[in-house]
Amino acid sequence: MKMIQMLFFALVTVFSLNAQRFALVDVNKVLESMEDYKKAQAELDQVAASWKQDIAVEYDKIKALYNKYQAEQVLLTEEQRKAKEEEIMNKEKDVRKLQKDKFGEEGELFRKRQDLVRPIQDKVYTAIQDYAASKGLEAMFDTSGSAGIIYYSKELDKTEDIIKKLKLLGK
């Protein structure tokens, strides 16, 4: 975190010394002001709540199965106990897989969020770029999170100059 703050301070200092123009924007606040975004978030929340409920029901079934097993355990043969334990473990594994399929990094909720929210975010970023270009701004920073620079004038990118300089120094 300290490195990000130092980088931000260095960038601000460089921008001030060179009299470049930059601005700040809270992208989350912009998104939250949009009806499309609110509707998408509400839909995502509803879908997630439904899936959580379905998963909770499955865990309740497993708990009931386990409680029944505990009560009957003394009456079962070793083979029957192992079969019941395996059945319970397989059901737990299935529910964990369901949970991962719905809520995992590449799960259904992630994909649904991409489908619903990405077009809205793209619209916001396009508006930011258009605004920056129309106001002659060279960079815009997002104050709502860790995104950092969300727009910059291509003339500010000195990556190639640095690469050339390093190649010259290496010769």
Residue type at position 102: K
pLDDT tens by residue, 23-78: 888 888 888 898 899 999 999 999 999 999 999 999 999 999 999 999 999 999 99
Measured between alpha carbons, how far is 88 from 76 in angstroms, rounded to an integer? 15
The DSSP secondary structure of 42-110, one letter per residue, reads HHHHHHHHHHHHHHHHHHHHHHHHHHHHHHHGGGS-HHHHHHHHHHHHHHHHHHHHHHHHHHSTTSHHH
Measured between alpha carbons, how far is 25 from 137 in angstroms, rounded to an integer? 12
* In the predicted structure, residue 17 carries a pLDDT above the cut 50: no
pLDDT tens by residue, 115-155: 999 999 999 888 888 888 888 888 888 877 766 777 677 77
* Mean pLDDT, residues 82-89 taken together: 96
* Mean pLDDT, residues 101-110 taken together: 95
Distances from the Cα of 35 to the Cα of 40, 110, 118, 125, 157, angstroms: 9, 21, 14, 16, 35
The C-alpha angle 144, 147, 153, rounded to 5 degrees, equals 110
Query: CB-based contacts of 137: which residues, under 8 Å, 6+ apart?
Result: 21, 22, 23, 131, 151, 153
**Can you tell me whether residue 25 is helix, strand or coil?**
strand
Kindly report the pTM of this predicted structure: 0.68
More confident residue, 1 or 96: 96
Query: Are 128 and 9 in contact, with CB atoms under 8 Å apart?
Result: no
